[in-house]
Homo-oligomer: A and B are copies of this chain.
Amino acid sequence: MSWFSESIMALRGVAKGISGETHSLTEQAQGEYHYLYSPYNKPVLTVDPGAVIVAETHDAFYGKIQHESDRPSEIIKFPFVNPQNGPIYINGAEKGDTIAVYIKKIEPRGEQPRGTTLIQPGFGGLVPTPDTAMITPPLPELIRKLEVTVERGTKWNENLYLPYEPFIGTIGTSPEIEAISSLVPDYYGGNMDLPDVAPDAVIYLPVSVEGAYLYLGDCHATQGDGEICGTALEHPSVTTVQVDLIKGWSIKTPRLENRTFYMSIGSTRPMEDATRMAYLDLIHWLSKDFGFDEIDAYMLLTQVGRVRLGNMVDPKYTVGASIQKTFAGALRLP
């Protein structure tokens, strides 16, 4: 029996984690991609809990970076960066609910070299940016176009292949009334760039509007913690997810579950605040759903909590705090 059958999604979802109808969200079906997490876009799909969605995502640059001789500063025009599929309307979802998204598969698509990473002025973790503003000059622009396959991963150079460890860089629901750039991560998800949002994981997202309005895009073939130069191994993908709806479970920030751990995700600046946000939510979760006293959870996480840095380059930094399921479930053992 798979771990998934014991997941919160399977146990509490309206569809009980059982696959329903499959919907194909091709480029053509999507039509216009979106640069906003917004309640003002028209849904491209309306689905029931249980629905499986197969989405053709673009890379963060809408595929416009095609040659290493291109100039990012001429092609990338903020805020028209990081195009998203969606919004997907999930029947029955209401403010205060939670949606669950099980990531079934991510595969690369498009012509080779289909992987892109680059350095652009004013973006990155170890360079001056509009926020961490400095009088010193930026790095020269630089593009790398790289071959990506499932089998061999990303060819970095003749000697070095990076394993294909794909994940969804940007996924979330719509804010209640705001329309926020898809470059931003926040309480509703968005551009978290957290490598744990990967196949065989479930991400839980708060619902702020009727129908939830699920967006996703920006899949990465691999990424290090922090995504320090600002762009992971960006690539277009075919991404397959299964959605479900959990009534009666309100969450304030994205949560994630996979085979081994439970994770809460915080996005803000500075990074210690993102970490605080993630850990405090995990404490509340352990308290409410796993029977821990809050202070006991605080002290236990001091001994066994794990932190994953998503990005340290977006307008907000993203951190996940997690606990192994064996520890989280300890109080329930007979």
User: Which residues in A have some Cβ–Cβ distance to B below 8 Å?
Assistant: 35-36, 38, 40, 79, 117, 119, 125-128, 130-139, 142, 144, 154, 156-157, 159-160, 162, 175-181, 222-233, 252, 266, 268-273, 275-277, 279-281, 283, 294-295, 298-309, 312, 317, 321, 327, 330-331, 333
Most B CB contacts (10 A, CB to CB) among A119, A125, A230 go to A125
A226-B279 contact given A79-B176, A134-B128, A232-B302, CB 8 Å threshold:
yes
Q: How far is the CB of A265 from chain B (nearest CB, A)?
A: 13
Q: How far is the CB of A271 from chain B (nearest CB, A)?
A: 4
Most B CB contacts (10 A, CB to CB) among A252, A275, A305 go to A275
List the B side residues contacting A226 at CB < 8 Å.
275, 279, 302, 305, 307, 321
Q: How many copies does the complex hold?
A: 4
B133, A302: Cβ atoms under 8 Å?
no
A136 to B135, CA, bound (A): 11
A275, B312: Cβ atoms under 8 Å?
yes
B225, A276: Cβ atoms under 8 Å?
no
B133, A280: Cβ atoms under 8 Å?
yes
List the B side residues contacting A227 at CB < 8 Å.
302
6 contacts between A and B (CB under 8 A): A130-B277, A133-B273, A135-B283, A137-B137, A225-B306, A232-B302
A177, B271: Cβ atoms under 8 Å?
no
A301, B228: Cβ atoms under 8 Å?
yes
A137-B135 contact given A178-B179, A279-B125, A330-B160, CB 8 Å threshold:
no
> Among the listed B136, B139, B175, which residue makes an inter-chain contact with A139, where contact means beta carbons less than 8 Å apart?
B136
Most B CB contacts (10 A, CB to CB) among A144, A266, A303 go to A303
B177, A302: Cβ atoms under 8 Å?
no
A127 to B301, CA, bound (A): 14
